[in-house]
């Protein structure tokens, strides 16, 4: 996955911050797909569309139970050292870095699309 991203984001036309955001988003979404998909499917695909206006990252996982990540609350980081850490920080991180984040779940296929505008 990282080789694919490196190859397709290289070339100097995309600023370092956007490259960072796309890589973080890809890693967090991929990790969630692997962690939460209990099916035998090993098929996760990644697509990248680059235009003059934006970078669009799309990951697709197959064989998933219906789930709408948009219904999950944002997570706050613990305020004190003794407070327990909860999950959900990856989703929170992607939401805070991306300009757009959308989900589609149909026919046991989850599509997550992340848009990072260029020029920010």
| Signed CA dihedral, 32, 33, 37, 40: sign only | negative
Q: For residue range 51-94, what is the model confidence (pLDDT) as tens digits?
A: 999 999 999 998 887 776 666 666 655 555 655 555 567 888 89
| Domain boundaries along the sequence of the chain | 2-117
H-helix segments, 37-111 = 89-97
- The CATH number of 2-117 is which of 3.30.200.20, 3.30.565.10, 3.40.190.170, 1.10.3720.10? 3.30.565.10
37 vs 29, more confident: 29
Task: Quote the percentage of the chain above a pLDDT of 70.
Answer: 79
């Amino acid at each position: 996955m990282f080789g694919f991203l490196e190859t397709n984001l290289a070339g100097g036309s995309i600023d370092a911050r956007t490259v960072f955001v796309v890589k973080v988003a890809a890693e967090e979404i991929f990790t969630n797909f692997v962690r939460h998909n209990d099916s035998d499917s090993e098929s996760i695909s990644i697509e990248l569309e680059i235009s003059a206006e934006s970078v669009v990252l799309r990951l697709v996982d197959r064989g998933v139970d219906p789930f709408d990540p948009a219904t999950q609350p944002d997570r706050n980081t613990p305020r004190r050292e003794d407070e327990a850490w909860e999950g959900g920080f990856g989703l929170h991180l992607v939401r805070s870095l991306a300009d757009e984040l959308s989900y589609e779940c149909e026919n046991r296929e989850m599509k997550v699309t992340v848009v990072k505008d260029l020029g920010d």
